[in-house]
């Protein structure tokens, strides 16, 4: 034995080896997060002939269906109905994908979770970022179609788009955190979540205009606006759809609730609180994750 | 309690319990409840284990299957947290534990090296710097650029080992390292581990092979049903385990893995 060579001394502090700062640790290890997100994205289109083109084809086909069925066959909806729907669809897809994939993320990454000391919040957050990335092509399509329909961008309303994304990102991540850990203990949770997300589509003014909600519920419509996803959808419609109509000012006055900004900031605050709650719940049950997988 | 700066690993009165669940579905659970059977059962995988390791020591962890070796390693690695007591470590940890964890079958070997290195805490620059060494060690030739899903299990293991062994760490954990891989590769791994030990890094080696432990370690810990049954010199430790395992069997493993 070579005793002489053994002088490797470390000054690092004596600490617990388990990661414990939760979401903060996730952003400390941004490089790993980036790698995990890249892995998801590139693995998704690996071996497919059209590759990334699929993420344009899918939203386009949905747009076409709504335009054709709702606008042409049923002859329902408002002016530029396809854009109205598509604004909602982008937000709803972002939310549903984050929620669904996030819920499954811990179980799906079993191998890593059971064996490596990575902060486990990494996986729900990565799911959110992957969904966020998938939103890119949809935004491009929406912008192009809006421009074709004579859209005039408004900087104030475009800031609303950022707010909408932030609301969904925070809310989606918080729910993904809570439900991903629940899914470890009971696999039924992921089935439950996909049922839950079915309701989301109809809980927002996507395939019906908000003006109908206002007309039917009157004073109660403000409870409808307590739904952060509905606020996010309205913010998107304010930014894109309203600007493509013939009389934007009239449409904005009738179709967009006057206190939308107030409700949106409330929604952002609620989502942020939800994220803290999600982190708390996650931490509480995290210790039991490796053995229950 | 305070420890001198030369301490590398502290395991202090550590307890870890697991809950065994016999039934999973609602139907099974209801039936079991009605018959008055137990639905779950708690047991201690580790029970009041305490020891400290100095920097540069190489420890052989031995014990029968199910004695808590892997659980202890997971606690030191930080994958699990103890239910009672505390585990403290100094510096970066890596090791041949769960090599290749997180390999994505659809990604190529090259992409997986970067991913796996990131999981092990390496930065982009560090991975780039070491990439050639990693590729050389794994020795996969042209397969490095085909999806890992097409690899044989030995090839996957080699790639995983190769990444893990190139992480600059202060504590190196090795769990049943040589279970897969052919003879030349096993030899290469053992040499690399000796290099790590001689470099003064703390080595924590789990093995059933007395020969390898004798060669690699200067102290042996033996776990028995979750309790620390022995802590001391290598020869006495091996004798202690043999007493439980039966000498004939032990010698065979020795020949196979000792190289």
Complex-level ipTM: 0.83
**Which tokens in the block code for residue A138?**
């949809």
- For residues A105 and A121, what is the distance between their CA atoms, to the nearest angstrom? 10
Q: Going edge to edge, which strands form the sheet with B219-224?
A: B93-96, B171-175, B202-206, B58-63, B219-224, B227-232
Tell me which DSSP letter residue A79 carries: T
Decide if A7 and B120 are in contact by the 8 Å CB cutoff.
no
Domain extents in chain B: 1-91+171-259, 92-169
Residue B213: Cβ-neighbour burial (10 angstroms; 0-12, 13-18, 19+): buried
pLDDT at B5: 84
C-alpha closest to that of A170 among A124, A123, A239, A222:
A124
Decide if B114 and A35 are in contact by the 8 Å CB cutoff.
yes
DSSP H or E stretch at residue A143 = helix A122-148
Q: How confident is the model at residue A7 (pLDDT cuts 50, 70, 90)?
A: low
Average pLDDT of chain B, as a whole number = 84
Burial B14-28 (b: 16+ CB within 10 A, else e): bebebeeeebeeeee
- For residues A132 and A126, what is the distance between their CA atoms, to the nearest angstrom? 10
Helices (H), chain B: 26-34, 69-77, 109-119, 124-138, 153-165, 183-198, 210-216, 234-245, 247-258
Task: Note whether A258 contacts B: Cβ–Cβ < 8 A.
Answer: no
Say which residue the tokens 């982009």 belong to: B124
Q: Which residues of B touch A42 (CB under 8 A)?
A: 107, 111
Decide if A14 and B90 are in contact by the 8 Å CB cutoff.
yes
Report yes or no: B186 and B41 within 8 Å, Cβ to Cβ.
Answer: no
Q: Going edge to edge, which strands form the sheet with B7-21?
A: A14-15, B84-90, B7-21, B40-54
Domain extents in chain A: 29-36+52-292
| A173 pLDDT higher than 50 | yes
Architecture of domain B92-169: Orthogonal Bundle (1.10)
Task: Note whether B11 contacts A: Cβ–Cβ < 8 A.
Answer: no
> Cα distance from B106 to chain A (closest Cα, Å)?
6
Say which residue the tokens 């043999």 belong to: B242
pLDDT tens for A211-259 read 989 898 888 888 999 999 999 999 999 999 999 988 889 999 988 998 9
Q: How confident is the model at residue B179 (pLDDT cuts 50, 70, 90)?
A: low
Interface residue of B21, B146, B200, B203 to substitute, partner A, most A CBs within 10 Å: B200
Superfamily grouping for domain B1-91+171-259: P-loop containing nucleotide triphosphate hydrolases (3.40.50.300)
Range with the lowest mean pLDDT among A69-83, A88-102, A105-119?
A: A69-83
Q: Which residues of A touch B83 (CB under 8 A)?
A: 287
Cα–Cα distance list, B96 to A9, B76, B152, B162 (Å): 21, 13, 19, 9
Burial A108-146 (b: 16+ CB within 10 A, else e): bbeebbbbbbbbbbbbbbbbbbbbbebbebbeebbeebb
DSSP H or E stretch at residue B171 = strand B171-175
Average pLDDT of chain A, as a whole number = 88
Decide if B93 and A17 are in contact by the 8 Å CB cutoff.
yes
Decide if A109 and B102 are in contact by the 8 Å CB cutoff.
yes
| B79 pLDDT higher than 60 | yes
Residue of A nearest to B58 (CA): A6
- For residues A249 and B39, what is the distance between their CA atoms, to the nearest angstrom? 65
pLDDT tens for A261-285 read 999 999 999 999 999 999 999 999 9
Task: Note whether A36 contacts B: Cβ–Cβ < 8 A.
Answer: yes
- For residues B203 and B8, what is the distance between their CA atoms, to the nearest angstrom? 10
Name the β-bridge partners of B14. B49
Q: How confident is the model at residue B257 (pLDDT cuts 50, 70, 90)?
A: very low
Task: Note whether B88 contacts A: Cβ–Cβ < 8 A.
Answer: yes
């Amino acid at each position: 034995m070579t005793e002489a060579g053994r002088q490797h001394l470390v000054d690092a502090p004596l600490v617990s080896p388990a990661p414990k700062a939760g979401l903060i640790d996730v952003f400390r290890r941004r490089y790993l997060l980036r790698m995990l997100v890249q892995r998801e994205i590139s693995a998704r289109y690996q071996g497919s002939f059209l590759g990334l083109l699929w993420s344009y084809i899918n939203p386009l086909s949905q747009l076409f269906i709504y335009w054709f069925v709702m606008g042409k066959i049923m002859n329902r909806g408002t002016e530029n109905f396809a854009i109205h729907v598509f604004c909602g669809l982008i937000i709803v897809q972002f939310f549903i994908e984050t929620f669904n994939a996030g819920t499954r993320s811990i179980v799906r990454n079993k191998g890593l979770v059971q064996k490596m000391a990575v902060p486990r919040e990494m996986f729900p957050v990565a799911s959110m970022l992957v969904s966020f990335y998938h939103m890119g092509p949809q935004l491009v399509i929406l912008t192009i179609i809006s421009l074709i329909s004579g859209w005039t961008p408004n900087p104030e309303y475009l800031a609303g788009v950022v707010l909408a994304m932030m609301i969904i990102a925070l809310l989606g991540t918080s729910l993904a955190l809570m439900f991903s850990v629940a899914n470890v203990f009971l696999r039924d949770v992921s089935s439950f979540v996909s049922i839950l997300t079915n309701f989301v589509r109809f809980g927002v003014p996507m395939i019906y205009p908000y003006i109908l909600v206002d007309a039917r519920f009157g004073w109660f419509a403000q409870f409808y606006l307590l739904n952060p996803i509905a606020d996010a959808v309205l913010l998107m419609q304010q930014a894109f759809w309203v600007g493509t109509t013939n009389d934007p000012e009239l449409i904005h006055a009738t179709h967009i609730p006057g206190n939308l900004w107030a409700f949106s900031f409330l929604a952002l605050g609620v989502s942020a609180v939800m994220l803290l709650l999600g982190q708390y719940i996650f931490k509480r049950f995290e210790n039991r994750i490796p053995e229950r997988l | 309690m305070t420890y001198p700066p030369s301490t590398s690993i502290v395991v202090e009165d550590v307890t870890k319990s697991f809950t065994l669940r016999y039934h999973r579905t609602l139907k099974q659970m209801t039936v079991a409840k009605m018959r008055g059977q137990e639905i779950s059962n708690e047991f201690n995988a580790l029970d009041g284990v305490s020891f400290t390791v100095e920097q540069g020591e190489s420890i052989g962890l031995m014990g029968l299957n199910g004695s808590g070796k892997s659980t202890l390693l997971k606690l030191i690695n930080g994958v699990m947290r103890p239910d009672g007591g505390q585990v403290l470590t100094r510096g970066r940890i890596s090791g041949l534990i769960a090599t290749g964890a997180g390999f994505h079958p659809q990604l190529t070997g090259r992409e997986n090296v970067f991913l796996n290195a990131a999981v092990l805490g390496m930065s982009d620059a560090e991975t780039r710097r070491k990439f050639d060494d990693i590729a050389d060690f794994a020795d996969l030739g042209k397969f490095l650029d085909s999806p890992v899903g097409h690899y044989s299990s030995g090839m996957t293991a080699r790639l995983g080992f190769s990444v893990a062994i190139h992480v600059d760490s202060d504590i190196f954990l090795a769990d049943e390292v040589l279970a897969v891989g052919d003879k030349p590769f096993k030899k290469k791994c053992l040499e690399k581990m000796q290099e790590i030990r001689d470099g003064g890094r703390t080595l924590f080696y789990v093995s059933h092979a007395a020969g390898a432990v004798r060669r690699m370690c200067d102290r042996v810990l033996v776990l028995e049903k979750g309790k620390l049954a022995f802590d001391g010199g290598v020869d006495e430790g091996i004798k202690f385990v043999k007493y439980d395992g039966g000498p004939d069997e032990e010698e065979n493993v020795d020949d196979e893995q000792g190289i």
